[in-house]
């Protein structure tokens, strides 16, 4: 098997504000780490920078590179990854040339309509996307109300443009995500700003939190997703990596909430604050019925101050699509609970015990977020409707959220009692 290796430049190690890319690739190598373990850690980190699913297929085909050739794909797509990294061949490191390609609203509308025949990520004969995920998206620089595809060391995208999925069963997804993201901001979660745009095709505009504008230049901010934090390959982004089938659902070797909370305890800056932010993120996923809150839909800033939770993104009420045959179980369990409408106080109690959180704190935050969702959901829905959101999607999403809030708040008062009864089993 091919081995991967990574080492930090001495010049980077000599800086006072140096930091590691992720917990699994420390600045000072652990003498107890074997060559195989280092290779695995390196490969997992860098392969998580690549897109997934159809986007990966299109990137491989567009660059005439095998999907199995991750190193080659990183070389082809590495100029614009999530976070601060730019992966360039040696010859391109000193290249300061930059270019902008205007994307007009007409261009974008035409390309959205052409997706059944032409991959959305391919523009001017070149693959333009290197951001992980399944959903169609285009990374653009927004400047003076215009959008540009950019290249160059001093330029980078500032926004993602996400059209409606091609699959008609997912109609209204842009409205769904905009509503959930808007509600998250209203109840106090740090969340990537979104706006619904009509070309007339609906497009969700998402501001990137891993970019900062400095005059006419764009600063890249280093952030990593949950799989990179845990040192896992992309195939392990779900807690049940082999699915929910009868014979494999007991295998829970993938990313999980207890593992994420433990990693924050060990590696986070102001760990108690970061763990509280993660707890509120977890509860909100349950309240909105987001069954696809996997480890790659959660990101962290990694800096000289260590790990801190990045703003939320990809918040979607997935339960509204359950009748269309889509997944209706959580990506990461609450205790042993994967089924949203069947979560009990015992599931929440086991979650609290496994994650090292006081059960009373879990109960308090459920009640607080639940009440805030009940208070703000009507006004958020009204604003999204006024912005041209799909009325039927808004109604369905609101219905799911209202039912989820009622269920979870009903279970909350019994969490502490359940924890006392569950504790002997958890310890044993």
Tell me the mean pLDDT in the region 136-140.
88
Q: For residues 226 and 132, what is the distance between their CA atoms, to the nearest angstrom?
A: 12
- pLDDT attached to residue 1: 64
Q: What is the mean pLDDT of the chain?
A: 90
145-164: per-residue pLDDT in tens?
899 988 766 778 899 999 99
pLDDT band at 428 (very low <50, low <70, confident <90, very high): very low
38-64 burial: b if 16+ Cβ within 10 Å, else e = bbbbbbbbbbbbbbbeebbebbbebbe
Length of the chain: 428
> In this predicted model, what pLDDT tens digit does every residue of 226-235 receive, in sequence order?
999 999 999 9
Residues facing 196 on adjacent strands: 204
**Mean pLDDT within 302-313:** 92
For this structure, is 292 an active site residue?
yes
**pLDDT over 80 at 25, yes or no:** yes
Is-contact 211 218, C-beta < 8 A? Answer: yes
Which tens digits make up the pLDDT trace of 332-360?
A: 999 999 999 999 999 999 999 999 999 99
If pLDDT is split at 50, 70 and 90, which confidence band does 75 have?
confident
**Mean pLDDT, to the nearest integer, of 379-393?**
97
Task: Kindly report which listed range (116-120, 175-179, 278-282) carries the lowest average pLDDT score.
Answer: 116-120
Q: Which one is predicted more confidently, 400 or 69?
A: 400
Q: What is the pLDDT of residue 94?
A: 54
Choice among 292, 314, 347, 354 that is catalytic: 292
**Interatomic CA distance for residues 161 and 155, integer angstroms:** 17
pLDDT of 131 reads 63
- Overall average pLDDT of the 62-82 stretch: 81
| CA–CA distance, 397 with 411 (Å, rounded to integer) | 21
Give pLDDT, residue 67: 82
pLDDT of residue 192 exceeding 80, the answer is: yes
Higher pLDDT, 123 or 174: 174
Domains of the chain: 10-47 (no CATH), 94-169+176-217 (no CATH), 221-427 (1.10.1070.20)
Cα separation, 127 vs 60, in Å, equals 9
Q: Which of 189-193, 272-276, 317-321, 422-426 has the lowest mean pLDDT?
A: 422-426
Residue with tokens 């976070």: 83
pLDDT value of position 80: 76
């Amino acid at each position: 098997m091919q081995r991967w290796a990574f080492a930090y430049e001495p010049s980077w190690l000599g800086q006072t504000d140096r930091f590691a890319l992720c917990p699994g690739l420390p600045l000072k190598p652990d003498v107890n780490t074997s060559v195989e373990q280092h290779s695995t850690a390196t490969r997992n980190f860098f392969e998580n920078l690549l897109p997934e699913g159809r986007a990966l297929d299109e990137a491989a085909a567009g660059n005439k590179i095998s999907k199995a050739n991750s190193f080659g794909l990183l070389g082809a797509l590495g100029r614009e990854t999530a976070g601060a990294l730019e992966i360039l061949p040696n010859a391109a490191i000193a290249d300061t040339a930059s270019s902008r390609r205007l994307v007009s609203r007409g261009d974008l509308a035409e390309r959205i309509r052409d997706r059944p025949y032409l991959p959305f990520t391919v523009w001017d004969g070149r693959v333009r996307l290197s951001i992980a995920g399944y959903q169609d998206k285009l990374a653009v620089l927004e400047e003076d109300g215009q959008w540009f595809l950019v290249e160059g060391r001093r330029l980078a995208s500032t926004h993602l443009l996400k059209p409606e999925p091609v699959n008609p069963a997912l109609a209204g997804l842009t409205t769904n995500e905009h509503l959930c993201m808007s509600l998250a901001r209203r109840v106090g979660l740090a969340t990537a700003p979104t706006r619904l745009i009509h070309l007339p095709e609906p497009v969700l505009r998402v501001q990137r939190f891993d970019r900062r504008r400095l005059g006419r230049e764009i600063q890249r901010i280093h952030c990593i997703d949950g799989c990179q934090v845990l040192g896992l390959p992309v195939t392990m982004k779900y807690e049940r990596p082999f699915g929910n089938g009868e014979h494999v659902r007991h295998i829970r070797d993938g990313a999980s909430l207890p593992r994420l909370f433990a990693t924050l305890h060990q590696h986070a800056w102001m760990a108690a604050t970061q763990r509280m932010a993660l707890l509120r993120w977890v509860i909100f996923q349950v309240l909105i019925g987001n069954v696809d809150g996997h480890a790659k839909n959660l990101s962290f800033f990694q800096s000289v101050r260590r790990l801190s939770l990045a703003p939320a993104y990809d918040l979607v009420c997935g339960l509204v699509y359950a009748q269309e045959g889509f997944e209706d179980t959580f990506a990461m369990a609450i205790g042993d609970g994967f089924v949203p409408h069947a979560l009990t106080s015992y599931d929440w109690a086991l979650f609290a015990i496994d994650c090292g959180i006081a059960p009373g704190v879990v109960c308090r935050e459920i009640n607080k977020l639940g009440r805030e969702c009940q208070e703000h959901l009507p006004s958020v829905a009204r604003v999204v409707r006024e912005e041209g959101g799909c009325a039927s999607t808004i109604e369905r999403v609101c219905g799911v959220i209202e039912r989820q809030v009622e269920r979870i708040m009903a279970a909350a008062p019994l969490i502490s009692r359940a924890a006392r009864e569950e504790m002997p089993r958890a310890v044993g």
